[in-house]
Amino acid sequence: MQLDRDDERILAGEQGETKQKMLELIVALGKVFGAERLVPIRSAQVSGASYKTIGEYGLQWLASLDAKAVVPAVLNPIGMPRGRWEEMGVDPVFAQKQQAVVAAYERLGIALECTCTPYYLRETSFGDHLAWSESSAVSYANSVIGARTNREGGPGALAAAIVGKTPCYGLHLEEKRKPQIIVRVEADTRNWDIAHYGALGYHAGKLVGNRIPFFSGLESATPERLKGLGAATAATGAVALYHVEGVTPEAAKGLFDLSGLEVINVETGEVERLFKEIPVDAVAVGCPHCSPLELEEIAGLLRGKVVTMPFYVFASQGVIDRNQKTVDQIEKSGARVFADTCMVVSPVMEQYEAIMVNSGKALAYVPDMCAAVARIGTIAECVNVATE
């Protein structure tokens, strides 16, 4: 692998042991995947932030590190909202451990924007090289924006943040970003919303696995809906990049040769069958974290209504701060808008037996991560259930 003089100095320990170890990790990963060089990154997004997922050993490892990130870097969602954990009902013992995790990352120079939607906080552009780790963020960056990132593990993303580089292999290379399978949606998608795109992703992810799908037949694609599609295909499959005919930036150029690719047909019934009407005892939306437009839609649907069961809305703190009036309208109904966490990584959600979501990703993860039954519905259906 080609390394420059600065890299060689880091490997020699001239910038400290932690940075040396981080670059050793990056180089080892690069060698495993056949990278010929490292590539500078514009930003990093680091997973392994919830104490629920990393535990005591992960916390001890973080506390042993001594370096600073050299590129803008944010955290994945943690297990609680930092400012409102008591209101959410988080156990004080868990809160103390979670605060220690956050403090460890802050000491390493990682910004405490704990979100799976970092693209709402900092401009990310077509062609930018990144080191992001959360599956839905990786999918959105690659697919909707046209940036370039592999799905980094938590330590790999942290190492890239501290070094400022990542191995140049996989989705960093143009030739590795071509479609590998066609998913032809044979349905009237004009009135589909985020939940339908999430349900499609939930179904399609199981069919395509880790291949790069090319979707055709999607007539109502918006960034929010594509976010739901990518999050779900990454959850039930291992899709880090997809293309949508005429919509996503690389597909819109029309340069792909699709001849000879396997075609999978998805019909309306295969998506609609996921929308099962079962009783729930909580509603949670914002997986991935809500955009300003999603918050506006929720506020409009809740206007003049009062919730009759716990209704959680999750968004990044930056989005909440910039849309405080909308958030206030939502909370006037009794619903709660929480930052930093989500229904998947917070232990609070484990108290419920059945949770209604509008996300294919949450539909996939809630049963395992929260030990609860998951029901998917549109955001309007979620509001109706929460206020009936």
How does pLDDT run across 261-317, given as a tens digit for each residue? Answer: 999 999 999 999 999 999 999 999 999 999 999 999 999 999 999 999 999 999 999
Cα 80 to Cα 85: distance, rounded to the nearest angstrom:
6
The helix or strand, by DSSP H or E, that contains position 369, with its residue range, turns out to be helix 360-369
Distance from C-alpha of 35 to C-alpha of 2, rounded to nearest angstrom: 9
User: pLDDT category, 1, cuts 50, 70, 90?
Assistant: confident
Query: Please, which residues bridge with residue 2 across strands?
Result: 37
pLDDT (tens digit per residue) in 148-164: 999 999 999 999 999 99
From CA 320, how far away is CA 113, in angstroms rounded?
A: 11
Cα distance between residue 118 and residue 110, in whole Å: 13
Closest-CA residue to 62 (of 47, 84, 45): 47
Q: What is the pTM of this model?
A: 0.96
For residue 382, give both structure tokens. 């979620």
Structure confidence at residue 330 (pLDDT): 98
User: Minimal CA–CA distance to 288: which of 227, 376, 204, 223?
Assistant: 227
CA contacts within 13 A on the Cβ side of 264: 19
Q: Which residues contact 367 (CB under 8 A, 6 or more apart)?
A: 373, 374
Give 267: exposed, middle or buried? Use CB within 10 Å, 0-12, 13-18, 19+. exposed
Residue 272, CA distances (Å) to 198, 205, 237, 287 in order: 11, 16, 19, 20
Instruction: Give residue 47's pLDDT.
Output: 92
Q: Which two tokens stand for residue 59?
A: 């916390």
pLDDT bin (cut points 50, 70, 90) of residue 254 is confident
